């Protein structure tokens, strides 16, 4: 149902946070959002919440560690993990806003 809502949207906001990649659901959502960006011209607006954009873009250690854990759970050759990594790489390279809440 949520994925259908993404498909029917014109704008999607991705909120990157400290532990974003530890959530399989967040990774599934970002993959769907980036798929719709490519296929349906969805506008994607990244927000970096309490995390430095350079840390997300540079593959922050906690982000990479979480992806490695997903790989070990799903096996390295998992197509789903490959899709997540590609989508995450594309999404974090987009222009976005940094909110530090200070």
Residues acting as catalytic residues: 29
Q: Pull the structure tokens for residue 27.
A: 């990774």
d(CA 60, CA 25): 19
Task: Supply the angle between the helices 61-74 and 79-92 in degrees, to the nearest 10.
Answer: 160
Residue at token pair 């970002």? 30
């Amino acid at each position: 149902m949520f994925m259908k809502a993404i498909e029917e949207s014109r704008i999607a906001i991705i909120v990157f946070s400290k532990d974003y990649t530890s959530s399989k659901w967040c990774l599934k959502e970002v993959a769907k959002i980036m798929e719709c960006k490519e296929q349906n011209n969805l506008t994607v607006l990244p927000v970096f919440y309490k995390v430095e954009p350079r840390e997300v873009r540079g593959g922050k250690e906690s982000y990479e560690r979480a992806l490695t854990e997903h790989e070990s759970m799903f096996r390295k050759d998992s197509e789903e993990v490959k899709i997540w990594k590609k989508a995450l790489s594309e999404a974090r390279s987009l222009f976005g806003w940094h909110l530090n809440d200070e």
